[in-house]
Chain A
Amino acid sequence: MGALVLRMRQLQVEEADQYRLLADENRINVRLLAPSRGLIYDRNGRIIAENEANYRVVLVREDAGDTELVLERLGQIITISPDDLEKVRKELKRRSAFVPVTVADRLSWADMAEISVNAPALPGITPDVGLSRSYPLGPDFAHIVGYVGPVTDYDLANVEDEDPLLQIPKFQIGKTGIENRFDRDLRGKAGSKRIEVNSVGRVMRELDRIEGQSGDTLSLTIDADLQNYVQARLAGQSASAVVMDTENGDLVAIGSVPAFDPNKFVRGISSKDYSQLTDDPYRPLSNKAVGGAYPPGSTYKMIVALSALEAGLIDPSEIITCTGFIEVSGRRFHCWKRQGHGQVDLRKSLVESCDVYYYELAQRVGIDKMTAMARRFGMGQKFPVPMTGISHGLAPTKDWKKRSRKQDWLIGDSLNAAIGQGYVLSSPLQLAVMTARLATGREVMPRLVRSVNGQALPDGRGGDMGLPEEWLKLMRDGMFGVVNDRTGTAYASRVIDDTVRISGKTGTSQVRNITAEERKSGVISNEDLPWERRDHALYVSFAPADAPRYAVSVVVEHGGGGSKAAAPVARDILMQALYGGLPPLEVYPVGQRDRIETERRALELRSPTAGVTAEKDRA
Chain B
Amino acid sequence: MSYLEYSVKRVPVGISKIFFINWPLVLLICAVAAFGFLMLYSVAGGSMTPWAEPQIKRFIMGLVLMFIVAFVPVYFWRNMAVTIYLLTLMLLLLVEFFGITSMGAQRWINLGFMRLQPSELMKIALVLVLAAYYDWLPLNKTSHPLWVLAPVALILIPSYLVLRQPDLGTAILLMAGGGAVMFLAGVHWLYFAGVIGLTAGTVFSVFASRGTDWQLIKDYQFRRIDTFLDPSSDPLGAGYNITQSKIALGSGGWTGRGFMQGTQSRLNFLPEKQTDFIFTTLAEELGFIGGATLLGLYAAILIFCYSSAMVNRDRFSSLLILGIAAAFFLYFAINMSMVMGLAPVVGVPLPLVSYGGSAMLVILIAFGFVQSAHVHRPR
Contact = CB atoms under 8 A, between A and B. Distances in A.
Interface in B194-221: none
Q: How large is the interface on B (under 10, 10 to 19, 20 to 34, 35 or more residues)?
A: 20 to 34
Interface stretch (A14-22, A216-224, A484-492): A14-22
Interface in A1-44: 1, 3-5, 7-9, 11-13, 15-20, 22-24, 26-27
Contacts of B315: none
A566 B275 CA distance: 87
B269 A11 contact: no
A16 B251 contact: yes
B250 A204 contact: no
A8 B292 contact: yes
Contact of A198 (B253, B268, B342): B268
B222 interface: no
B337 to A, nearest CB: 7
Given A12-B249, A19-B246, A4 B264 contact: no
A196 B267 contact: yes
Given A3-B342, A5-B292, A23 B268 contact: no
B23 to A, nearest CB: 24
B263 interface: yes
A590 interface: no
B247 A23 contact: yes
A199 interface: yes
A26 B253 contact: no
Nearest to A9: B288
Nearest to A28: B263
Contact of A13 (B247, B254, B263): B254
B292 A198 contact: no
B342 A7 contact: yes
Interface in B261-279: 263-264, 266-269
Contacts of B292: 5, 8
B340 A199 contact: no
Contacts of B375: none
B163 interface: no
SS class of chain A's interface: helix, strand, loop or mixed?
Answer: helix
B283 interface: yes
Given A8-B340, A13-B288, A198 B267 contact: yes
Contact of B267 (A8, A19, A27): A27
A551 B45 CA distance: 75
B252 interface: yes
Contacts of B267: 26-27, 196-199, 204
Interface string B170-197: 0000000000000000000000000000
B91 interface: no
Contacts of A15: 250
A13 B253 CA distance: 5
A26 B263 contact: yes
A516 interface: no
Nearest to A200: B268
A24 B247 CA distance: 10
Contact of B268 (A4, A11, A199): A199
Interface in A21-72: 22-24, 26-27
B333 A12 contact: no
A22 B232 CA distance: 14
Contacts of B264: 23, 26-27
Q: Which residue of A3, A23, A27, A199 has the most chain B CB atoms within 10 A of its CB atom?
A: A23
B109 interface: no
Contacts of A18: 250
A4 B268 CA distance: 25
B263 A8 contact: no
Contacts of B152: none
Nearest to B290: A12
B280 to A, nearest CB: 10
A12 B263 contact: no
A27 B333 contact: no
B333 A7 contact: no
B290 to A, nearest CB: 10
Nearest to B240: A199
Contacts of A4: 295, 333, 336-337, 340, 342
Interface in B304-349: 329, 333, 336-337, 340, 342
Nearest to A25: B247
A195 to B, nearest CB: 11
B283 A199 contact: no
B291 interface: yes
B342 A12 contact: no
A549 B57 CA distance: 96
B299 interface: yes
B247 A26 contact: yes
Contacts of A7: 337, 340, 342
Q: Which residue of A5, A18, A196 has the most chain B CB atoms within 10 A of its CB atom?
A: A5
B248 interface: yes
Nearest to A15: B250
B287 interface: yes
A12 B295 contact: no
Contacts of A8: 249, 283, 288, 291-292, 295, 336, 340
Given A9-B288, A27-B267, A199-B268, A20 B340 contact: no
Contact of A11 (B263, B337, B340): B340
A15 B254 CA distance: 11
A23 B251 CA distance: 6
Contacts of B342: 3-4, 7
Given A1-B299, A4-B340, A26-B263, A11 B250 contact: yes
A472 B269 CA distance: 81
Given A7-B342, A8-B283, A8-B340, A22 B288 contact: no
A11 B299 contact: no
Contacts of A22: 247, 250-251
Contacts of B287: 12
Contacts of A26: 244, 247, 263-264, 267, 269
Nearest to A204: B267
Contact of B254 (A3, A16, A198, A204): A16
A390 to B, nearest CB: 51
B269 A20 contact: no
Given A16-B254, A23-B251, 17 more contacts: A1-B295, A1-B299, A4-B342, A8-B288, A8-B295, A11-B246, A12-B252, A15-B250, A19-B248, A20-B251, A23-B263, A26-B267, A27-B267, A197-B267, A198-B267, A199-B267, A199-B269
11 contacts: A1-B299, A1-B329, A7-B337, A8-B340, A12-B283, A19-B250, A22-B250, A23-B250, A23-B284, A26-B267, A199-B269
Interface of A: 1, 3-5, 7-9, 11-13, 15-20, 22-24, 26-27, 196-200, 204
